[in-house]
Each structure stands twice: as structure tokens, then as C-alpha cells.
Amino acid sequence: MQPAQAPVPASTPAKPGLVLDFENLGTWKRGDEPYGSLTQAAEQKHGGSYSAKLSYQIPQVDKHYVVFMRQPPAAIPGQPTALNMWVYGDGSGHFLNAWIQDSQGEIRQFTFGQIRHADAWQAMTLSLDPAAPWPQAHISGPDNNTLDYPVTLHALVLDVAPRAGTTSYNGTVYLDDLTVGEGAGPGASPALGAAPASGGAPTSGSVSAPAATSGANAPSAGVAGHIVYTAGSGGTTDVYVVNGVDKSSWRLFANARQPDIRLDGRVVLNGIGGGKNNIFSISLDGSAETMNGRHPEDSYPHWSPTGGSAVFHSTIGDGKERIYLQWDMSRSEEPTPLTISGVSAFGRLPIWLDSRRVAFSGCDYWAGGSNCGIWTMNNDGSGQPARLTDRMDDHVTDSTGGTVLYASQATGNWEVFAVPQSGGTSRNLTNSPGQDTGATFSPDGRSIAFMSNRDGGWGIWIMNTDGSNARKLIAVAEGFGAGWAEESLAWGP
């Protein structure tokens, strides 16, 4: 669909910074995909008397989104670097995007992030950064990779995050109080989320510049959600869960390591003994245990952004470590090797980035193998791989909102670093004399959990995304196993 050139924008609302409050819905035209409606609603509102009700019924098709174009577009005052909007979520994990038109007639898509919270109002933030990765994209008009102010809101978009085995996606979200805000700015990671309001699980977020940590004496308050981790001494480890609110913990799976958790709380992990030497998935309450892999050599599984697939590395066949994809994680099936230019992606410790690329530690064997570090590539092997770091022992641990977290010994001990998915300058977020590794974003993207022994004993620590306010959540007296340097936390709802 090619949007038409927008007419003269509507006048700026009288309240400073306000773009739309939906007290007067105005006229919205649905795009070519007839998969929903945008109407005014009184049953849910964040402020005033009304909100906008976005209902969608989207089949499993190639163009799995619905677009609502405002006529005329809504004026956005000033030259903001971000937009803020209150969203009453449905927990679907689908993307809420906006099309922004600039003064040259160019329309670009930016994102508020994935709607991961349910049955509660929560502020979500969109960064107006043309350099951000997908779902930021050029839609129509001249493409000069910049925003020429003044700009207008051209459309709102609900874009499905597909799930294996799902034939249709139906739901409703409410939108209210769209205002200008301050984001990370061009070239930085987009801010995709904000602190929750009225409860509920949060959305994705950003990483900003590093600052000094506050040390072990900071208050150890609880945090929302559940963190899964490996614990054990020597070569025997189990996977545990800690409730971030009350700090209670329990063993989820014996003889296992390397867990990852998806949006609905299901955990994938690597079984390493007890007759379960394979990749398994299991619900947080211990139910619905499923063997997904077929080879005991499979290691380090990580969910795809949609939760229907997984990536891992394995030495099946000839003993060489390669990156594999298992497309349907609802069952056990043979994995597909990741290749580039017909050559296997030799590497290890992979994760599936939220941009839908795969990141792993390895070398460019498709081009001779002389350049090593963390590489990213499309999950179908198309396009060109990109190198984020240049140390072979660096390994990626999580990503959100265009930012990658990774562990590195570049400073002489393990530290948590952040780097844009598109490449650029890395930032040391921990910068302590202890060992800090295994970092993961919180579901709202506004906090980071990591493993550390900085106070003399192992534990799970929490910090802000800029590295500030580090505080210990729980102690893990037995440690994270002999292979702790390659373990990673995972934080879910």
C-alpha cells in the first residue's frame, strides 16, 4: 500500500506537547488490509472521557497488519525526539507502530514497541530515530534517512508478531493521550517502553549512556516478573526461577542449564543429564514439559521474538559448532543449519535478536574466517552479516529496542556491555572489579539483571539500563555452575 500525499495538517492542540487526546476522535481511514477498526470508546480511558479503541482481526497472511491513517494528519509540535502514548494492552506481544510524515513528504515508520502488558494502562515511548533497526522503516516519499521538521502523525499501525500454529490474531487495545517527549535521539537505541501504570507487565525499552553504579548498599527492592537462571556447584546444575516481587525461588528443571523465557512464561533450556540430554521447554509452574530437540549435542537455546522458533548451537555430525534453527518449537523436529553463501555459520552461544536477526560468537568462515567476534545475520542467511565486536570470547546475552547486551573480558575481567544492533560504540555498563556477566533486559526494557560476585559472593543483581543503581536481588550461594561465564539470565513476565 502506498499512502497518498497527506493534506495540510490539523492545527496544533492548545495544550503544550499534546498531539491527540482522542476526546475528538477525528477521521481515520483504514488502509488496504481490512483487518480491524479504530473507534472512540468510553469504557476505558486514561484521561478525559474517551480513548481510541483499536480492534483487530488479522489472519495468518503475508501482510499481517492493519493501518489507520488520520485525515488530515495530526500536527506534532516542535522538534521532538520521541512520542509518548498511554496504551491499555492485551498482552499480545504485537507491535504498535506509527507512520510519521516530514516536511518533505517522506513517511517513515517508528515503533512504540511490543504490547506485552495486559489489562492495564501503561505509557509506551516511540523514538523518532531514522537509524533504528526494524520495525523502523521507510514507507513512501523521498528517502533521505532523516526527519525534516515539522512532522505530523500520518497513521497508527498494529503489526502482528506471528506465532507458529496460529491461524488468526484477534484482540483490542485502547490508546490515549499522545504527547511529544524526549527520547534517545538519532543514532541511539529507540526507547520502546516506560514504567508500568496500574500494574501489568511492561514493554521493551532502551539503554542510555553509562553512569557509576551505587554499590551493594542500595535498597534491594523487588522487581516485576520472573527471572530464570542456572545454579549449582561443580558440573551439576539445575534451572531455577525467582519471583522478582517477593524473591521466592524454586527449582524448575533438574540437570539443566542455559534457560530462556518467552512472553507467555514458557522456558526453553538445555538438559544435561538425568536421562534428559536434550533441549526441552516447560511452563513456569513445571507443567507441559516437552522434548523439542533430537540431539544431546544441542546447546544454548534461545527463543525467537515470536516464541514459535528457537536458535541454538550444536556439534551434531562432525563435532564442529554450528548455528541451527528449529522453526517449530511446538514439537520435536530436525533443525535447519544457518548458512551464508552456502557456507555453514560456524559459531556458538547464539540468540535471536528482537530485530529478527541472529547474533552469535564466531568468525566469518564464509569469507575466510580471519575476522572474529559477535556477528549478526538474517535468520534466512540472506543479506550481509555484520560484526558488532572483535573479540572471539565476547558473547551476546540479550537484546531489546535496538540494543544488544553482551559479556566481554576486554577490560581484564567479565563485564556487561551494550552496543547498538546496527553497530557502533560499545559501553561498559558494569565497570566493577568483580565478575559481571549473563545480562538480560527486564520485560519493560527499563532494567537489566545480571550475574555478579562483586560483593564476594555470587548473586543476581539489578541495575538501570544506564548501569546506575546496581543492587543485589538475591544471593545464589552455590554459584551459577562451572560454566558460569557462558550462562545467561532470562527475565520474563
Cα(421)–Cα(353) distance, rounded to whole angstroms?
Answer: 8
- In this predicted model, which residue has the larger pLDDT, 167 or 481? 481
Cα(159)–Cα(179) distance, rounded to whole angstroms?
Answer: 21
DSSP 43: S
pLDDT score for 342: 86
pLDDT digits (tens, 9 = 90+) for 373-407: 999 999 988 889 999 999 999 999 999 988 999 99
The answer to whether the CB of 154 falls within 8 A of the CB of 101 is yes
Residues of the chain with CATH 2.120.10.30: 226-492
pLDDT at 4 over 50: no
Residues of the chain with CATH 2.60.120.260: 18-181
> Mean pLDDT over all residues of the chain?
86
What would the DSSP string read from start to end of 128-181?
Answer: --TTS-TT-EEEES---SS--SSEEEEEEEEE----TT--EEEEEEEEEEEEEE
* Residues in the chain, total: 493
pLDDT score for 47: 85
pLDDT digits (tens, 9 = 90+) for 322-374: 999 999 998 888 999 999 988 899 999 999 998 779 999 999 999 989 999 99
pLDDT digits (tens, 9 = 90+) for 86-137: 999 999 989 999 999 999 999 999 999 999 888 999 989 999 988 877 788 8
| Domain at 18-181: CATH architecture | Sandwich (2.60)
| Domain at 226-492: CATH architecture | 6 Propeller (2.120)
